Amino acid sequence: MAHVVLVLVETVNDYLPLLEREGFELILAPTPSSRAEAIAEHGARINAVLTRGPLGLYAEEIADMPSLLIICVIGAGYEHVDLQAASNRGVVVTNGAGANASSVADHAMALLLSLVRGIPQADAGIRRGEWNKLRQPSLAGKRMGILGLGAVGMAIAKRAANGFDMSISYHTRQERHDMHYTYCKNVIELASSVDFLIVATPGGSETRHLVDTAALYALGRNGYLINIARASVVDTQALIDALAKGKIAGAGLDVFDDEPEVPDALKLLGNVVMTPHMGGQSPEAAEGTVQMVVNNLLAFFAGQPVLTPVRLPEPQ
């Protein structure tokens, strides 16, 4: 009998045949209404769920799927997956850490280049018939700080160091001794020592508002913030205030608190470049993330350890 996978994601349909070719039965439910209907109708048969961090999977949904054995999250973040409920039921959780790292790192650098070099303003000016040669800073030789040095953070560091001769500093919960980058013991120390602060850490309660007013002021008037991680890591109102008051030079944002809603205050600011949470969206990343799901599911149902397990709390 084929294992049944409930697919909640809406961005990888072209690569779902990778799952079907391995014999998995798919139930597609990419909207809130279809999700509820699918769980109500097929909950007893569902063995696995494919979701994203922002879409999550909640305790009541887990309870309504008595045959659920494994939750596979596309991407590194799993902030809206109820890990306690999964642990209580003995459900395994995996994520896609590293599968889209190259795409996200490329996007981080694209945001940084666009922001610092004033590309959107120059393009808009030409379209208005203007010829304003903006004098914008160079990236070469600058100091980059990375908050979170996982697969994405490492990919960004590699591009910045090798491509732009930047010095790299970072902050994580624990210092890494397998690299030569400079470790900072907290976010304030990191922000105060760099020109560009890149947010690349997972979301969730442990990282909520790590970048607050104090961190932004430490970054300073000539500093730039890029967030390609989760909006919750940055205090949005503090960021808006800092941008409006010129306390930092600018921000590049790919993530927002209430996606797809974006605060009007951000839209009105000229020192912000924004994209619609597309950093991890590329054909290569989509195929890679689905293939990782396939590999995790095949390992799990073969009784082998999954490749990218998420650490769960103790059952209660």
- Residue 261 to residue 275: CA distance in whole angstroms: 12
Identify the active-site residue in 259, 261, 284, 287: 259
143 is a catalytic site residue: no
Residues 196 and 59 in one domain: no
Q: Model pTM?
A: 0.88
Q: What is the pLDDT of residues 75-110, one digit of tens each?
A: 888 889 999 999 999 999 999 988 899 999 999 999
Domain match, 143 and 265 both = yes
> Could you confirm whether 311 is annotated as catalytic?
no
pLDDT of residue 37: 97
pLDDT (0 to 100) of residue 98: 87
Query: Is 259 a catalytic site residue?
Result: yes
Is 311 among the domain residues?
Answer: no
User: Is residue 141 in some structural domain?
Assistant: yes
Q: Is residue 127 over pLDDT 90?
A: yes
Query: How far apart, in whole angstroms, are the C-alpha atoms of residue 86 and residue 44?
Result: 16
Q: Which of 79, 277, 284, 314 is catalytic?
A: 277
313 within domain boundaries: no
Domains in the chain: how many in total? 2
**Domain of residue 150, residue span:** 101-274
Q: What is the pLDDT of residues 47-85, one digit of tens each?
A: 999 999 889 999 999 999 999 999 999 988 888 999 999
One domain for residues 109 and 214: yes
Catalytic entry in 230, 261, 311, 314: 230
Q: E strand or H helix at 227, and its extent? A: strand 224-227
CATH number (domain holding residue 79): 3.40.50.720
Task: Say yes or no to pLDDT of 158 above 80.
Answer: yes
Distance CA 290, CA 123 (A): 36
Per-residue pLDDT, 205: 85
Q: How far apart are CA 97 and CA 48, in angstroms?
A: 18
